[in-house]
Amino acid sequence: MDGRTIGILGGGQLGRMIVEAAHRLNIKTVILDAPQSPAKQINALDDHVDGSFTDYESIAKLAEKVDIITVEIEHVDVDALVRIQAKFPKIEIYPLPETIKLIQDKYLQKQHLIQHGINVTDSKAVLENSAEELNKIGDEYGFPFMLKSRTLAYDGRGNFVVKDQSYIAKALEFLANRPLYAEKWCPFTKELAVMVVRSIEGEVFAYPTVETIHQNNICHLVYAPARITDTEAKKAELLAKNAVKSFPGCGIFGVEMFLLPNGELLINEIAPRPHNSGHYTIDACVTSQFEAHVRAVTGLPMPQGFTDFATTNTNAIMLNVLGDKQTANKELETCRRALETPHSSVYLYGKTTRPERKMGHINIVTSSMSDAENRLAYIMGNSSATIP
């Protein structure tokens, strides 16, 4: 469908699923990451680059081989991308380096959204990593408050809940030497997410609003659609679209939000790439988030409705398969039960198991949420559940 080659910075599971979508459209992809990374395993080419997406020389090697560069992770070296753009003016880079730069610093990201009139959780920069500074923030925000690393955060690993004054020393130790900001505690009733894709022409499309349930800061389950009112869901889609419109450039974005008890929505954060909360789209929507991204960065058609649910009564649950905490590979038992369960599909990422590592996911797609929940109960090993 497109004779150009896409280079992907990062070869994890998101890169792997971009490769799958690109392959179906006969679009060639080349990966920059460690040897045998998940995206390289399913893409037998000699062209892949072994190296780091934070290293200019490695990105330059990739640039020699591709026409378009995209990312599966926002923690890339943006200055290197800017230099690549100058050296290889014909290469298109999406998301735009300026967008990645704004988003990869979660505090700058919030400031940017505020400037564009988008509601976000209250936050302030931590000017100095000291007990005195955090005490001042505690006085202003009250306890608990959330202390976050501005950069290189994922799966909550850059976050610390400062429950009261006595946690300040622990927080400073946990996040030592990282650039920090603080967020007011958000007493949300639900966490929601919306995938939004923007075409090269600048048109934005929202996927349906979904509900995400986290365990230990890691996405555990996604309910699609979210179990909220239609008005709330539409409001979330509009907010997500407006937020994405504030960042230039095309591609897919994952927008995480909090729903407050009074119905208000606040944006938590945005990812400039495919997102865990969008894995359900592979089986539940007309076009997956991965294909939508490929279409966006190559300028392929994106007709009205292409991000909709596949049918008017689609109900889906996505379960993340994490490495078992005690026994290596025990998580495969969950996958086996999913294989026994009609209306569910298993995706494994080709990684070596480690406790809590994202090893794969399972999509259950059916016509009612209660039916999906029954299937989920069996898959999760609930002893009273039988194969639905």
The per-residue b/e assignment along 203-236, b for 16 or more CB within 10 angstroms, e otherwise, is: ebbbbbbbbbeeeeebbebbbbbbebeeebbebb
Neighbours of 163 (CB within 10 A): 14
Pick one of Mg ion, ligand ATP, none as the site partner of residue 156 (Cβ within 5 to 8 A by kind). Answer: ligand ATP
Scanning residues 259 to 288, which ones bind ligand ATP (CB under 6 A)? 268-269
For residues 263 to 282, the per-residue mask of contacts with Mg ion, x marking binding by CB under 5 A and - elsewhere, is ------x-------------
Name 125's Cβ contacts closer than 8 Å, sequence gap at least 6.
Answer: 107, 180, 181
Scanning residues 231 to 260, which ones bind Mg ion (CB under 5 A)? 256
Scanning residues 178 to 197, which ones bind ligand ATP (CB under 6 A)? 183, 185-186, 191
HEC per residue, 228-282 = CCHHHHHHHHHHHHHHHHCCCCCEEEEEEEEECCCCCEEEEEEECCCCHHHCCHH
Pick one of ligand ATP, Mg ion, none as the site partner of residue 251 (Cβ within 5 to 8 A by kind). Answer: none
| Cβ at position 275, least distance to Mg ion in Å | 9
361 is written with which tokens? 């996911």
**Is the CB of 122 or the CB of 371 nearer to Mg ion?**
122
For residues 134 to 163, the per-residue mask of contacts with ligand ATP, x marking binding by CB under 6 A and - elsewhere, is ------------x-x----xxxxxxx----
| Cβ at position 19, least distance to Mg ion in Å | 23
| Cβ at position 222, least distance to ligand ATP in Å | 12
Q: Does 299 bind ligand ATP (CB under 6 A)?
A: no
Size of interface with ligand ATP, in residues (CB under 6 A): 19
Pick one of Mg ion, ligand ATP, none as the site partner of residue 159 (Cβ within 5 to 8 A by kind). Answer: ligand ATP
**Is the CB of 273 or the CB of 337 nearer to Mg ion?**
273
**Is the CB of 144 or the CB of 350 nearer to Mg ion?**
144
**Is the CB of 106 or the CB of 337 nearer to Mg ion?**
106
Q: Does 174 bind ligand ATP (CB under 6 A)?
A: no
Q: Does 109 bind ligand ATP (CB under 6 A)?
A: no
Q: Does 356 bind ligand ATP (CB under 6 A)?
A: no
Nearest one of 190, 188, 181, 189 to 162, comparing CA atoms: 181
| Cβ at position 260, least distance to ligand ATP in Å | 11
**Is the CB of 260 or the CB of 385 nearer to ligand ATP?**
260
Q: Does 211 bind ligand ATP (CB under 6 A)?
A: no
Size of interface with Mg ion, in residues (CB under 5 A): 2
Pick one of Mg ion, ligand ATP, none as the site partner of residue 55 (Cβ within 5 to 8 A by kind). Answer: none
Pick one of ligand ATP, Mg ion, none as the site partner of residue 129 (Cβ within 5 to 8 A by kind). Answer: none
**Number of Cα atoms under 13 Å in the Cβ half of residue 19:** 25
309 is written with which tokens? 């649910």
Q: Select the residue interacting with ligand ATP from 217, 246, 345, 353 (CB under 6 A).
A: 217
Positions that interact with Mg ion (CB under 5 A)? 256, 269
Positions that interact with ligand ATP (CB under 6 A)? 121, 146, 148, 153-159, 183, 185-186, 191, 214, 217, 256, 268-269
